[in-house]
Amino acid sequence: MATFPSLHDAVADAVHDGDTVALEGFTHLIPFAAGHEIIRQGRRDLTLVRMTPDLVHDQMIGMGCASKLVFSWGGNPGVGSLRRFRDAVEHDWPGPVELVEHAHAAMASAWEAGAAGLPMAVLRAYTGTSLPDVNPDIATVTCPFTGEELAAVPALRPDVGVVHAQRADRDGNVLVEGIIGIQKEVVLASDRSIVTVEEVVDDLAAPSPNSTVIPGWAIDAVVVAPGGAAPSYTHGYYDRDNAFYQAWDEISSDRDRFLDWMQANVMEAA
Amino acid sequence: MATFPSLHDAVADAVHDGDTVALEGFTHLIPFAAGHEIIRQGRRDLTLVRMTPDLVHDQMIGMGCASKLVFSWGGNPGVGSLRRFRDAVEHDWPGPVELVEHAHAAMASAWEAGAAGLPMAVLRAYTGTSLPDVNPDIATVTCPFTGEELAAVPALRPDVGVVHAQRADRDGNVLVEGIIGIQKEVVLASDRSIVTVEEVVDDLAAPSPNSTVIPGWAIDAVVVAPGGAAPSYTHGYYDRDNAFYQAWDEISSDRDRFLDWMQANVMEAA
Amino acid sequence: MSAQQADGDDTSGGDGLDWTTSEMMTIAASRALDPDDVCFVGIGAPSAACNLARLTRAPDLTLIYESGTLGTRPEVLPLSIGDGELSETAVTTVSVPEMFRYWLQGGHVDVGFLGAAQLDRYGNINTTVIGDWDDPKVRLPGAGGAPEIASQCGKVFVTLAHSTRSMVEQVDFTTSLGFGPTGTERAALGVMTAGPALVVTDLAILEPDPDDHELVVTALHPGVTRDQVAAATGWAVRFADDLATSPPPTAEELQVLRDLHARTEAAHA
Amino acid sequence: MSAQQADGDDTSGGDGLDWTTSEMMTIAASRALDPDDVCFVGIGAPSAACNLARLTRAPDLTLIYESGTLGTRPEVLPLSIGDGELSETAVTTVSVPEMFRYWLQGGHVDVGFLGAAQLDRYGNINTTVIGDWDDPKVRLPGAGGAPEIASQCGKVFVTLAHSTRSMVEQVDFTTSLGFGPTGTERAALGVMTAGPALVVTDLAILEPDPDDHELVVTALHPGVTRDQVAAATGWAVRFADDLATSPPPTAEELQVLRDLHARTEAAHA
């Protein structure tokens, strides 16, 4: 049954050094507020899991939170590279980050399998690519009916899953709308889950009987964090701050400039 | 791209003797009108696929359309047995029907796998039950990461999939609401698909960006069949005719009475 | 489905209340649910018990039906597990693949509540066939969601009418695993959930012996004798040393249950 | 993403129209789409081409973005593949697992439209790394949806700027399979889809030789010479016997493309 702690308490309770932590959001509802709280609390040695690591992961990596990244596309969407991510991979600054590299199809199925309580996902993938050469987590299984060899990847079952959503009701039932990505899968697949929301309301006002609602009893912590996805966006609440995504390219281009910006805008802003 | 044929033409075009045909609907949106048209066209030797075969399957089996049934629960929901199904299985009347018997979990995953273009579904199922003793389609695969033995069943990929839905727009995009069951999976998994709808409208009026809409380009035939799910129900249009479900128990209790009823109410009603 | 409950014998309580054995069964079953349980309501008799609990002492009970409805709160009992009201009153309605993969197999359900055509001394359930599967005496509807409800919910409650036809030494067909043919197979097969924790019939309550997993009578319903239960059970049933008597239905339980049935009959007429 | 297109050289058409090589690339790519194609728009340059086609000669073109948006009709070009307008204008938006499992792997997409950091003579794509994966010279964003777009769509179109850095003899890393390292591996691996059918650069159009699958120049854009293309290609590129010249952009194509970019810049400012 969901509780309603503060962001500080939710993160302090759920996220520990060495944990495997997924902050997800497929180009929408990216949990920046929660990511910044993890940075402020000084977590170290995290294995970060995300299909599309972008600015918040650039920030976590640049601040030294991560020792490993499980991912399938890491960039600044619409702008270019993640400069802190590249600095870590190419020059080990501020430390080395081990990469477990997938494609979207496999990570999407791995989230599905994690939510489904299975140890692995089975799909048709990676044929003829170099990815199995660099990722020992890409294996095969043989279909007992057709003899076809299919790809298998481990299910994603992180210690902590963090997503952002539009709103919750007083029972902690959470509505997700628009690009729903893998929000539900992350909550269900994770051992401990945090959902940050724009607001808590009396009536969830889900528009359809089939709206994507994650029941409160399947969530550990619901945290009220208005604007918690900015500079990404929350469908129906606020738009993506494209100018900031473009500005980040320059902010992140230099180690000192990055550190100064983080100090002023994250470490001292709670 | 969806076409808009008559029910007669859609069935005549898609359904042939010997085909594997799924008329699905998980207790909602059961495609009675399409089933009756298949009976009127005198199809024979069909392999019928359905998780919850109920009255329309009792009727098809009693009228001799089927030689095989792939299923996981066959009954008159809320009432009791399917008497024509039992007569076929227990006494080979009007002919024998071979059973391929599953549980819901496996058929649900087999529909998912069929829609996903995979040859098999992998799940945790059937442990300690007698079902693998009577169904050779229940096999196992071993997880290459954990060594766990998991159940595997063949994906469902019928020749023809038939479902009912609320409405379509002029592009053949179809809205399904309420208990959505496996409606989308059936359409995507089948080689040829027929969707009967209550009405065709200019604006689909899907209430949510994430409403269950099956795009017209993924459907072969959209057929206007008002009341096409009765005596089952269409959420938002009409209720389940519970009295008929109860009456069916008596109508179907006797072979002659059943045949008379079918003659008057199905064969001569087009 | 509970709407079609058999009328049991009338019983008179000491406080002037009358009830049927069927009502006693439903009420006793409803009492077994914890107020914050997430409960998967299987096909068969359990729906009335779950909704009675929700309408009395457990208003926050979460009910899941395999049709995809999560957190449903019907005003009347559904005739089928896919009646429209289940979706209309649910927190959300998901697809059937999602229901079985994410919610059941994903391990999010505390209690599975099942009916049975046959139940044996080790809690194994048959809803498939009486006689041989290849040459059945009676072909039953089949498994539905029950096999995985039985193995993947935290624990399982079973409710059924008590007779030598239903309470058997060994099931003809194991549709859903209890503790296995000799009471040892559940653990041996690596199924980590608790399995059958409680059986509520119209005569008694049975629970598995913690050591050998045989179902043992732990309570008799008011007015029921050991001999009645022994005669209605298809194996040499054991009785607990501290055999209890179920508390009789309260006036509130009877009133809420009868109102529920009356609303249901009016709605389905 | 096309919003960040490089400005190419200005070119003058015979009819008084001016255009950049980048505009020519987008316009030539847009012409390759059939009006009733279902098109999976990958990360990278293809979005402008697909939307230009939709806004001109192919209004019924179905666009799918991997963020889950099916049949989207944006008024402006998305900056990311998950911009809100993609969902707001889509027929429906599904989860990412459903997108990859049902729609892409399920075989419902005709054309996959991809960009590339490196493309080799057999149409293999690298968007992962320049240099060794373990010790990269340049770490690129990675695969995203591309590997399965490349293998599971009916056919694949690729669009990228033409240079010896991008058009290479052999990719450093095969992120997405074309015809394989020697042009024979796609069939040998049992991948039944057509693979790279068309490559549109800012200089030319290349298509695979039907026999050996090597990419061959089949058309030059107006004003481009064979020598220019040969100098900008990292292998000894062949030219088709019936080498064509791409029709220059029409006034309508240029107008619609420029309006699209202007709306996009205004919206993202």
> What value does the mean pLDDT of chain B take?
97
Q: What is the CATH number of domain D10-268?
A: 3.40.1080.10
pLDDT tens string A62-110: 999 999 999 999 999 989 999 999 999 999 999 999 999 999 999 999 9
pLDDT at B9 over 80: yes
Amino acid (1-letter code) at residue C25 = M
pLDDT at A55: 98
Let me know if D169 is a catalytic residue.
no
CB proximity C92 to A under 8 Å: yes
Q: Could you tell me the pLDDT band of residue C6, with boundaries at 50, 70 and 90?
A: very low
Are D175 and A130 inside 8 Å of each other by CB? yes
Give CA–CA dist D44/D64, Å, rounded: 14
Band of residue C10 on the pLDDT scale cut at 50, 70, 90? low
Q: pLDDT grade, residue B98 (50/70/90)?
A: very high
| pLDDT over 50 (residue A124) | yes
* ipTM, interface predicted TM-score of the complex: 0.96
Host domain of residue B199: 7-102+157-261
Helix axes A255-262, A83-91, angle to 10 degrees: 130
* Token duo for residue B265: 């109410």
Domain spans in chain D, listed from the N-terminal domain onward: 10-268
Residues near C58 by beta carbon (within 8 Å), at least 6 away in sequence: C33, C34, C35, C36, C37
Q: Is the pLDDT reported for residue C191 higher than 80?
A: yes
- pLDDT (average), residues C189-206: 97
CATH number at residue A96: 3.40.1080.10
- Interface residue of D62, D64, D69, D91 to substitute, partner B, most B CBs within 10 Å: D91
Q: How does pLDDT run across C148-161, given as a tens digit for each residue?
A: 999 999 999 999 99
% chain A with pLDDT above 90 = 97
Is residue D36 within 8 angstroms of chain B, CB to CB? yes
pLDDT given at position D2: 33
pLDDT tens-digit map of B35-93: 999 999 999 999 999 999 999 999 999 999 999 999 999 999 989 999 999 999 999 99
pLDDT of residue C43: 64
| Cross-chain CB nearest to B116 (options D36, D94, D101) | D101
Instruction: Please confirm whether the linkage preceding B5 is cis (ω < 30° from 0).
Output: no
Q: Decide which of C264 and A99 is more confident.
A: A99
Q: Does D44 lie at the interface with A, CB-CB under 8 angstroms?
A: no
Q: Say which amino acid occupies D19.
A: W
Evaluated on CA atoms D22, D23, D28, D29, the torsion sign reads positive
Mean pLDDT of all residues in C209-217: 98
- Which tokens go with B68? 């095989």
In a domain, A209, yes or no: yes
| Burial of residue A2 (number of CB atoms within 10 Å: 0-12, 13-18, 19+) | buried
> Chains A, B: CB contacts under 8 A, how many?
87
pLDDT of the residue at D100: 98
Chain A CA closest to residue C152: A117
Length of chain C in terms of residues written? 269
pLDDT band of C109, cuts 50, 70, 90: very high
CA distance D140 to chain A (A): 7
Position D6 scores a pLDDT of: 41
Mean pLDDT of all residues in chain D?
92
Residue D43 DSSP class: S
Q: Kindly report the three-state secondary structure assignment for every residue of chain C.
A: CHHHCCCCCEEECCCCCEEEHHHHHHHHHHHCCCCCCEEEECCCCHHHHHHHHHHCCCCCCEEEECCCEECCCCCCCCCCCCCHHHHHCCCEECCHHHHHHHHHCCCCCCEEEECCCEEECCCCEECCEEECCCCEEEECCCCCCHHHHHHHCCEEEEECCCCCCCEECCCCCCCECCCCCCCCHHHHCCCCCCCEEEEECCCEEEEECCCCCCEEEEEECCCCCHHHHHHCCECCCEEEEEEEECCCCCHHHHHHHHHHHHHHHHHHC
pTM of the full predicted structure?
0.96
Helices C251-268, C46-55: crossing angle, 10 deg rounding: 120
Distance from the B235 Cα atom to the nearest Cα atom in chain D, whole angstroms: 20
User: Residue B24's pLDDT band (boundaries 50, 70, 90)?
Assistant: very high
- Taking CB atoms and an 8 Å cutoff, what residues of chain C touch B80? 4
Interfacial residues of B (vs A; Cβ cutoff 8 Å): 116-120, 122-124, 137, 139-146, 148, 150, 152, 154, 177-178, 180, 206-212, 235
Which amino acid, D150?
A
Question: What is the mean predicted confidence (pLDDT) over C227-235?
Answer: 98
- Half-sphere exposure of residue B82, counting CA atoms within 13 Å on the CB side? 23
Contact A66, D119 (CB under 8 A): no
Using an 8 Å CB-CB cutoff, list chain B residues near C173. 130
- pLDDT per residue as tens digits for the range A194-222: 999 999 999 999 999 999 999 999 999 99
User: What are the pLDDT digits (tens) for D22-71?
Assistant: 999 999 999 999 999 999 997 656 889 999 999 999 999 999 999 999 99
CA–CA min distance A206, chain D (Å):
16
Nearest residue in chain B measured CA to CA from C88: B178
Q: Say how many domains are in chain A.
A: 1
pLDDT band per the 50, 70, 90 thresholds, residue D5: very low
pLDDT of C77 over the 50 cut: yes
Residues from chain B that touch A114, judged by Cβ atoms under 8 A, are: none
pLDDT band with cut points at 50, 70 and 90 for residue C9: low
- Write out pLDDT tens, residues A238-266: 999 999 999 999 999 999 999 999 999 99
* pLDDT at residue D227 tops 70: yes
Q: Is D99 on the interface with A (CB under 8 A)?
A: yes
Q: Is C266 on the interface with B (CB under 8 A)?
A: no
> Nearest C-alpha of chain A: how many angstroms from D11?
27
**Best mutation target, B112, B146, B156, B210, to test chain A (most A CBs within 10 A):** B210
So what's the pLDDT on residue D13?
60
pLDDT recorded at residue D14: 58
The predicted-structure confidence for C115-149, as pLDDT tens digits, reads as follows: 999 999 999 999 999 999 999 999 999 999 999 99
